Structures are given as structure tokens and as C-alpha cells.
Chain A
Amino acid sequence: MLEHYLPIFMMILGGVLFGIVMVKLNEWLGPRRPTEEKLTTYESGMEPVRTARERFSVKFYMVAVLFILFDIEVVFMYPWAVAFRELGIIGFVSMTVFILILLIGLFYVWRKGALEWD
């Protein structure tokens, strides 16, 4: 049974290895001659002011929450799509109702301006 997933594991393994190898290879092969100028944040001579760790705006939060909610909606479409043929018309209608209900949500979010970056 598990053999079916072998390509996926190979893929993940390959991806991880590729990342590690490339970084290490760069470290190993590339010449490293640091000078004081090179180690500054901006080599152009710009002095960095304040911390780079700025607080994120709460607006991102709105986007993230809405993303999750609609993402979960999409998750339900996956098994639906796979079993679509055997479900017949009932499957189609039930998914239509589901999407319609969430479309009302999208309509509401849109009209309330929650998708705008104000």
C-alpha cells in the first residue's frame, strides 16, 4: 500500500536535499572575503534606522482569516470532485447549495469592503 506514495516521499526527500546541498555547496565553493563595508546592511552606504521587525498591520489578519475560511470551502471540493461521477445529480445540487451559501458570505465580505486595502 505504502509503495504508492513512494514517488511523493522521493519528491520530498529530493526537495529537502536539493535545498541543503545548494546552500552548503555555495558556502563551500564560493570565495568569502568579508570586509567591513560588505557586512553592512546596505552596501550603498545607506545607514539603517530603527528595527526591521516592524509590527504587521491588523489588515493582514483579516485577509488571513478570510483565506482560511474559503480554503476550507475548497477542501470540501476535493473529495466531491473525486467522487463526482457516482454522486450524480444529488452531488451536484448539494455542492451548489454549499457554494451558494458561502457566496452569500463572499457577497457580504465584498460589500462590507473587507477585501479592500483601506
Chain B
Amino acid sequence: METLVADIWRSTPLVLLTLVGLIALLVEGSGKGRAAAVYWISLVGTIASFVLSFLSLNTEEAAFNDMILQGGYAAFFGMIFTASAFGTLILSRSYLRRLHTERGEFYVLIVFAAIGMMLMASAIDLIILFLGIEVMSICLYVLVGFLRTKLTANESALKYFLLGAFTTGFLLYGIALIYGTVGSTSFRAISAAFPAVSNQPLFLLGAAMLVIAFSFKVAAVPFHMWAPDVYEGAPTPITAFMSTGTKAAAFAAFVGVFLGAFQIAGSKLSEVIALAAAASMIIGNVVAISQSNLKRMLAYSSIAHAGYMLSGISAANREGETGILFYLATYTLMNLGAFGVLSWVEQKDDTKLTFDDYAGFSAQQPFLAALLSIFLFSLAGIPPFAGFFGKYYVFLAAVKADLTWLAIIGVLTSVVSVYYYLRLVMMMYFQPGGATVEEPPAQMAFIAVTCAAILVVLFGIYPSLIVDLTKEFLNI
């Protein structure tokens, strides 16, 4: 009993967010018109969980019979998830109110999805990993199809759900095969048994199934087909959530299993991941060029970014791990910001989402155009913005792991990506037109996006702010 209570204290970021989610649901059920109350409760909950995660960064302890690891790695990701959920909540409020479909469940599901993500990052047992992925995915299926009367939303929710359910099958089959060879689902036991089982066909088959499942969740080639359609049909704040929080959670689990439980450096698994990384970088960036819809363009760009980060996993060294953590933290900021500005410009009926709709944006809204430009420059990886260092770290890791070819592909495709990011900047600044926002963005949302932009610049100039945080628990 005492250990149980101690474990609960140890995992306060997770427990608190769960309690907040439950209270928010109770409030939502208690009567009509409670959406605003639910929104504020969720918002406060994510902030509190963020702060608690930050405070527990320096202590790393296992809890609940070696089921989850709290503090350190999990706390770092907890900060990313709660920040992403916070941003999504703020963007959702004005988005939903504009569509007159504000409902408390939307916010509750965002909180529950964040809980699932935190479980994925803190899992040191495949069972918890699976449960975390499912909690997150079920919330996302619903959030994507939340606007029930919109046909594209229905289509994307159905596509996401069917493919996601199929992926769950792969994940479970993989877990079952690994359990079959190792005899345990605990990361510690798998790690201990890895040298002995790593060449057994059954184990490799299980690991391959996990690669498939995780590649789907991070939207890496060849399991990326769902991403553009789902990103396009989902409500824009949810697209932002999926491309930041979900992606970070999937990478947290990917890194946890393939660098924590397995030791894949120099193995066949590392080669497979390197191929997926190369394919994601090439296909994501090349196809993004031909997109005219900005949400689709950012979907392909997110596939490309998954490729950059996968090269960090394939490198399987400390530099790679740090690189991915840095990348995810900054990527969350820049993508949330970019989608935030997009959600202000877009109209109720899904129009104003193409490049041409941004002609002359800088003349009408000079500040918003500047913000969007910062995010785009950062996504393109142009120094001194944070996106540059993210790429720098993962490519450096690839070079150190004798995967120079992968780093070369990464650099070349990054150059390609500059074209489509800057095309939007050119549109805003050098094309005449009257692009503007329908109504001025809500104050809080505006402040949040501005903060994101400031942080993107700050982390670009002082990357050590994040890197030092990760050093604490990665023991470099």
C-alpha cells in the first residue's frame, strides 16, 4: 500500500492530468452550456501538468511495478505533450466558436489524448505502451471526425480509424511475438535478452511488426498514405495536435523501444529504419512541392520531418537521441504556430487554404505574416531558427554512426524543402493581393503563437537550453 501511494506521488504529472480529465468530463455531463468551464479546467490542468513535469525532470524513477518510468525522459516528453495540448486547446476554442460547434467533449478528448501520449513516453512495458497508443488513438479518431456534418471530416476520420485499427493489429502481433521469444513484456527483460534473441527469426518478425506500427504512427514512408488526407480533413487545431503531440508521442515510443529495449546499433533493424528515413525524406519533400493546399503541403512536410528524425533513431547513438528530443521540442513549437496562423486565415467552408490565398498577406497583417515566416524558415531549417539545430543534430548523429549517405540525402532534401516553404513567404511578401484574416485572432491564441515564435528564435540561438535539459537524464 505504501509503495502504491509513493508511486502515485512519483507520477503526479500523469495522475493530475487524469484527475483533471475526469473532473472536466463530470462538469461536461453536469449540465448544458458547460463548454467554457471544461475549456478552462483543461487549460489549467495542462499547465499544472507541464509545471509538474518540469519539476520532476531531474529525478528518474520507475513506478507501479516497473510499468512506467517517471521523471527524466518521460517528464521531458510530458512537457512537449502538455505544451502541445495547451496550444491545441487555445487554438480549438476560437476555431470551434467560429464554427458554432463548441462542445466540452472536444477539450476532454484532447486531455485524454495527452494522457495517452504521456503513457507512451513513460512506458517501460509493452502493455503500457499499447494502452497508451490506444488511449491516444481513440481520442484522435473521434477528434478528427468531430465535425460530423462535414463530409471531408468523416472521410478522414474513417480512413484514419480503419488504418489505425489495422496498425493496432500489427502492434499487438509484434508484441505477442516478442513476448513469445523473450517471455516478458518488460523493457528491462527484453533489453537483457536482446543479444541472445536478436537473431531469432520470430523475434525479428516481431520487431519488424513494431517498425511497421510505429512508422504508421509517425507517418513515415511507406506507411504515410493516410497523413495528407487525414490532416486535410481534420479540424485545423487537431491537425496541429496530430503533427506535434502525436508525432512526438510516437517518436517517444519508437525511441523507447528501439533504443531503450533493443540495442539496434549496426543491426539489420537499423538498416531498415535508415531506408524508411531516406524514403520519407525524399518522398515527403518531393511530393510537398506539388501541393497547392497548405494543410496537405504541411502533411507532406511532416512526413519529411519524420524522415529526418528517423535518421536519428537509425543512428542509434546518444547524439541521435538528443537530436530527436531537441527536434521534437522545437518542431512542436513551429508546427503549432504555423497551423495556428493557418487556422485564422482559413474560412468556415474550408477555403483560403491555398498558396494563392496568401497573396499580399504581409500588407494587411504584417505581424501575422512575420510570425508565419519565422515558423516557415524554421521548418525549412534555415539558421538561426531552431529547426536548423534539430536537423544539424540528427544528421551529425547519422554521420557518426557511419550513415553518411543518409545525412547527405537529408541535406539535399532539406534544400528541396526550402523551395516550398519559401514559396509561401514569397507569396505573402511579394505578390499583390488582399489576403487577410476573417476576424482578429483571439487574444490568448495570439499570445500563445507569438510565444511559440519567440521560443523558436530563442532555441535557435541558444540550443543548449534544451540540450542541457536532456543531458541530465541521457547521462552523456
A and B touch in the complex (CB under 8 A): yes
Give the nearest-CB partner of A94 in chain B. Answer: B4
A104: interface (CB < 8 Å): yes
Contacts of A105 in B (CB 8 A): 25
Give the nearest-CB partner of B26 in chain A. Answer: A104
Instruction: Give the number of chain B interface residues (Cβ < 8 Å).
Output: 9
B28: interface (CB < 8 Å): yes
Indicate with 1 or 0, residue by residue over A89-104, a CB within 8 angstroms of chain B CB atoms: 1100000000001001
Residues of A within 8 A of B (CB): 89-90, 101, 104-105, 107-108, 110-112
Contacts of A104 in B (CB 8 A): 22, 25-26, 29
Give the nearest-CB partner of A106 in chain B. Answer: B29
Contacts of B31 in A (CB 8 A): 111
Given contacts A101-B22, A104-B22, contact A90 B4 (CB under 8 A): yes
Partner of B29 from A89, A101, A112 at Cβ < 8 Å: A112
Indicate with 1 or 0, residue by residue over B149-169, a CB within 8 angstroms of chain A CB atoms: 000000000000000000000
* Most A Cβ at <10 Å: residue of B4, B25, B29: B29
B1: interface (CB < 8 Å): yes
Partner of A90 from B1, B25, B28, B29 at Cβ < 8 Å: B1
Give the nearest-CB partner of A100 in chain B. Answer: B22
Contacts of B26 in A (CB 8 A): 104, 107-108
Residues of B within 8 A of A (CB): 1, 4, 22, 25-26, 28-31
Decide: A108 and B28 in contact? CB cutoff 8 A: yes
Q: List 16 A-B contacts (CB under 8 A).
A: A89-B1, A90-B4, A101-B22, A104-B22, A104-B25, A104-B26, A105-B25, A107-B26, A107-B29, A108-B25, A108-B26, A108-B28, A108-B29, A111-B29, A111-B31, A112-B29
Give the nearest-CB partner of A110 in chain B. Answer: B29
Bound CA–CA A104/B112 (angstroms): 14
Bound CA–CA A111/B27 (angstroms): 11
Contacts of B1 in A (CB 8 A): 89-90
Bound CA–CA A107/B25 (angstroms): 9
Bound CA–CA A98/B28 (angstroms): 20
Contacts of B29 in A (CB 8 A): 104, 107-108, 110-112
Give the nearest-CB partner of A89 in chain B. Answer: B1
Bound CA–CA A101/B135 (angstroms): 15
B443 → A minimal CB distance (Å): 31
Bound CA–CA A105/B26 (angstroms): 8
Give the nearest-CB partner of B4 in chain A. Answer: A90
A98 → B minimal CB distance (Å): 13
7 more A-B residue pairs beyond the given contacts A105-B25, A111-B29, A112-B29, with a C-beta to C-beta distance below 8 A: A90-B4, A104-B22, A104-B26, A104-B29, A107-B29, A110-B29, A111-B31
- Closest CB pairs A-B (n = 6): A108-B29, A111-B29, A107-B29, A104-B22, A108-B25, A104-B25
Contacts of A112 in B (CB 8 A): 29
Bound CA–CA A59/B452 (angstroms): 44
Bound CA–CA A110/B28 (angstroms): 12
Bound CA–CA A104/B30 (angstroms): 11
